Amino acid sequence: MTDAPTGERAGWGPVSRVDHVVESQNRRTAWRPLAGAALLERIRETGRPRPATDPAFTADLRALLESGLAELSADAVSADNGRLAVSKDRLTRALSCPVHRTVDRFGERAITLPLACGALVDVLFRQIVTIGTIGDPMTEALDGLTMDGHQAPLLTWIAELAPAELAELRAEVDRQAEGLAERWPVLDASWLPRTQEPLRAVLACGRVELSARVDLALGRRGEDEASVAIVDVKSGVRRPGHRDDLRFYALVEALCSPAPPFAVATYYSRTGELDVETVTPELLLEASRRCLAGTRALAGATPESDDGVWCTPCATLPRRAVRSAIATDEAPGAGDLAVIDLLHGQAA
Amino acid sequence: MNARSRAATAGLLAPPTFELDHPTVVRVRVQLESGIADAIVGLAPGEAIEVGLPLLRRARYQPELLGLADEPFAWKPAFVRRSLGLEVVRACAQRRFRGPADAVGPVADQAIEEWRRTGWRTVHWEPWLAELGQGARSVVLAEAVAWATPVWAAFDWPALLATAELGGPDNRWTGPKGGTVHLKGRVEARVRPDRGRSSLVSVASGRPGDGWRDELAYLALVAALGAEDLPVVSRVVGLWPECGYRLVVEIDEAALTGAVDRVVDTVAAMTDVRNSAPAAEVA
């Protein structure tokens, strides 16, 4: 279920251009972002009954993963203190075909304006959920970032921005903060809203650990039926791979809770789009197969990642766009990856 | 409150599985003292080792970090979330709020107000939190909510309110030989049913390692040694919210002995590190 403006997506360029594109889309389609109770209702009411807890199915999911990981050698998974840590980003990189791994630069964390904007908006989203207000967005987001020692390089980078770039960043952060404040209602405390919730699922006798940190989780972990919803916040443009991220969150939550979440959603703070996906057994099975393939690739057990079967951009983007990015010295055909429409149901 | 948390609550209040008498505790203490005496051979006079759960875990899972100096202390959200989170759970158990998200702001404000009024720092972080800007403060509150929420959801705290102590001072025991070795046991809750033996609740981040039984039993060991006149803890419940684990150790002599062995191993490892440190500094 998607709540989104139609039309071509724009990249995060100069603020004025982004504003223009979004506004022109809105004018053309009369689309307005959901806000307040309607936004929450879209997350809570998926159009399907919330699934009952099914321990046997969860056991099957775990067995699928365990059986596929059983043959991994201890050496293969001993990279990080004796365990292989699997996150959404590492999975995506491991499963990207060589071309998209290069084009999209997954895993490289060079600081850019969009990345800085994302970190600042994450802080502001957390603030909105926790205290319900934002004063001066840039000041408070930077203030919040100082609480995380790992963000020191980012803070330094922002402090050294040229005035024009800083103004651009500030304008975008202000704009997105305004949207958050306007659209996100106060969350009822009885729904147990919590931010930046860490999740871990342990596999292969502790040698593999699936880990995630979700921006917002709502609902008490259920006994009889699924009652948790997970929301991921993105400050940039919409990408097909974001649904893979959501499904990975759903899988990890399913493995470490009595019940899976009933819904996972991406909230795009730049536009106010809300992309909600109902969690079904099929979704979890698909997520576990993808996770298994990626984990095996990370452990060096299989070269599956090289055939592009699980590469989301290959499955969803036009072939020509991919080929245009291939280095000119590559052999003809090396990046000639066939487009398989909606492969694995991955199209957003 | 769902069936799972009700069952977990009933488990905390259940009668002890094993009987433990005072002579057993004395036997365990003698074994610990003997093991420590062997483990600290070569330790420089005046050196002291303080053992707690973090050190036990580091010695087993990341021994290469034992020799590293601790960072100078500076307040950060991770140091506040437990104590603020416990206050939040207490306020919710008293039914003053509907959940941690409602409670965290007023509870923090109340602590700061109390400090300003009396100068007494109940939870120590009041002056630091009071000086933070709104952005940083909201991060601290959010961390406390994230910590408190799974703890709040794990048990029927309102039903436990009359018998549970949330937080409270650490249990401590100082060994012989001039107090070379100190044990510290920090628990998140002590639940003491009427005329019954206590259950302890411990909350940890990450996931349990293969020595989790000894680690939980260690908390019972320190509680027993620190107050030998009180009944021994009947069980220790460990929560690892990130991976959804709730693990229980029923305390018997074997559990306490396992904890003794872990302490002795840890003290021996620390002694080795201390003894090798001067050579490394010279090099």
Between A and B, how many CB-CB pairs are < 8 A? 118
A32 touching chain B per CB within 8 A: no
Of residues B158, B55, B144, the one with CA closest to residue B107: B144
Inside any domain, residue B249: yes
Half-sphere exposure of A170 (CA within 13 A, CB side): 13
Tell me the chain A residues in contact with residue B96 when contact means C-beta distances shorter than 8 Å. Answer: none
A223 touching chain B per CB within 8 A: yes
Q: Are strands A208-218 and A229-234 parallel, antiparallel or unpaired?
A: antiparallel
Inside any domain, residue A125: yes
C-alpha span between B204 and B207 (Å, rounded) = 8
Tell me the chain A residues in contact with residue B108 when contact means C-beta distances shorter than 8 Å. Answer: none
Tell me the chain B residues in contact with residue A138 when contact means C-beta distances shorter than 8 Å. Answer: none
- Between B228 and A196, the more confident residue is A196
Mean pLDDT value of segment A223-243: 91
B60/B89 same-domain check: no
B129/B256 same-domain check: no
**pLDDT at site A332:** 34
Q: Do A199 and B243 touch (CB under 8 A)?
A: yes
Min Cα distance B156 → chain A (Å) is 13
DSSP B71: P
Inside any domain, residue B280: no
Look at chain B and report how many structural domains it folds into. Answer: 2
Looking at chain B, the whole-number percentage of residues with pLDDT higher than 70 is 97
Looking at chain A, the whole-number percentage of residues with pLDDT higher than 70 is 74
The residue segments making up the domain with residue A171 are 113-186
B230/B168 same-domain check: yes
Report, in angstroms and rounded to the nearest whole number, the Rg of chain A calculated over CA atoms: 20
Both tokens assigned to A138: 């840039």
CB-based contact B230:B211 (threshold 8 Å): no
pLDDT in tens, B124-171: 899 999 999 999 999 999 999 999 999 999 999 999 999 999 999 999
> At residue A341, does pLDDT exceed 50?
no
**What are the start-end ranges of the E strands in chain B?**
49-51, 164-166, 171-174, 181-185, 189-191, 199-203, 235-240, 245-250
B62/B88 same-domain check: no
Inside any domain, residue A123: yes
Of residues A80, A88, A126, the one with CA closest to residue A251: A88
**pLDDT at site B177:** 63
Inside any domain, residue A129: yes
**pLDDT at site A347:** 29
Inside any domain, residue B180: yes
Inside any domain, residue B34: yes
> At residue A97, does pLDDT exceed 90?
no
**pLDDT at site B103:** 98
pLDDT grade for A14, boundaries at 50, 70 and 90 = very low
Q: Do A187 and B142 touch (CB under 8 A)?
A: no
Min Cα distance B28 → chain A (Å) is 32
C-alpha span between B26 and B37 (Å, rounded) = 16
Mean pLDDT value of segment A167-188: 97
Sorted by sequence, the CB contacts under 8 Å of residue A23 that are 6+ apart come out as none
Inside any domain, residue B281: no
Tell me the chain A residues in contact with residue B77 when contact means C-beta distances shorter than 8 Å. Answer: 147
> At residue B51, does pLDDT exceed 60?
yes
> At residue B22, does pLDDT exceed 80?
yes
CB-based contact B156:B6 (threshold 8 Å): yes
**pLDDT at site B46:** 86
B103/B197 same-domain check: no
Inside any domain, residue A314: no
Inside any domain, residue A70: no
B188/B232 same-domain check: yes
pLDDT in tens, A111-153: 999 999 999 999 999 999 999 999 999 999 999 999 999 999 9
C-alpha span between A54 and A37 (Å, rounded) = 30
Q: Do B103 and A127 touch (CB under 8 A)?
A: no
Inside any domain, residue A161: yes
> At residue A50, does pLDDT exceed 90?
no
> At residue A182, does pLDDT exceed 60?
yes
Interface of A with B in 129-158 (CB under 8 A): 129-131, 135, 139-149
> At residue A345, does pLDDT exceed 70?
no
Inside any domain, residue A108: no
Mean pLDDT value of segment A305-315: 70
Average pLDDT along chain A: 81
| Cβ neighbours around B127 below 10 Å, total | 12
Mean pLDDT value of segment B59-65: 92
> At residue A288, does pLDDT exceed 70?
yes
- What is the helix (H) or strand (E) element at residue B25, kind and residue range? helix B22-39
> At residue B238, does pLDDT exceed 90?
yes
Least trusted range by pLDDT, from A17-21, A149-153, B149-153, B235-239: A17-21
Min Cα distance B242 → chain A (Å) is 5
Inside any domain, residue A150: yes
B174/B265 same-domain check: yes
Mean pLDDT value of segment B38-55: 92
- Using left for φ > 0, alpha for ψ between -120 and 50, and beta otherwise, residue B91 falls in alpha
The residue segments making up the domain with residue B251 are 3-68+164-272
> At residue B70, does pLDDT exceed 60?
yes
Look at chain A and report how many structural domains it folds into. Answer: 1
B233/B142 same-domain check: no
Mean pLDDT value of segment A222-250: 92
Least trusted range by pLDDT, from A163-167, A220-224, B98-102: A220-224
ipTM: 0.91
The last residue of one of the domains, among B98, B122, B152, is B152
Of residues B198, B202, B81, B193, the one with CA closest to residue B143: B81
DSSP B239: E
pLDDT grade for B230, boundaries at 50, 70 and 90 = confident
Of residues A336, A195, A332, A258, the one with CA closest to residue A54: A258
B91/B180 same-domain check: no
Inside any domain, residue B282: no
B216/B254 same-domain check: yes
Inside any domain, residue B56: yes
Q: Do B134 and A127 touch (CB under 8 A)?
A: yes
Sorted by sequence, the CB contacts under 8 Å of residue A101 that are 6+ apart come out as A93
**pLDDT at site A313:** 73
Provide the CATH number for the domain around residue B213: 3.90.320
> At residue A326, does pLDDT exceed 60?
no
**pLDDT at site B276:** 84
**pLDDT at site A1:** 54
pLDDT grade for A44, boundaries at 50, 70 and 90 = confident
B103/B46 same-domain check: no
**pLDDT at site A81:** 66
B183/B250 same-domain check: yes
Inside any domain, residue B207: yes
pLDDT grade for A241, boundaries at 50, 70 and 90 = confident
CB-based contact B242:B207 (threshold 8 Å): yes
**pLDDT at site B266:** 97
**pLDDT at site B182:** 96
Mean pLDDT value of segment A232-239: 93
The last residue of one of the domains, among B120, B152, B184, is B152
pLDDT grade for A23, boundaries at 50, 70 and 90 = low
Q: Do B133 and A140 touch (CB under 8 A)?
A: yes
Q: Do A190 and B98 touch (CB under 8 A)?
A: yes
The last residue of one of the domains, among B130, B152, B174, is B152
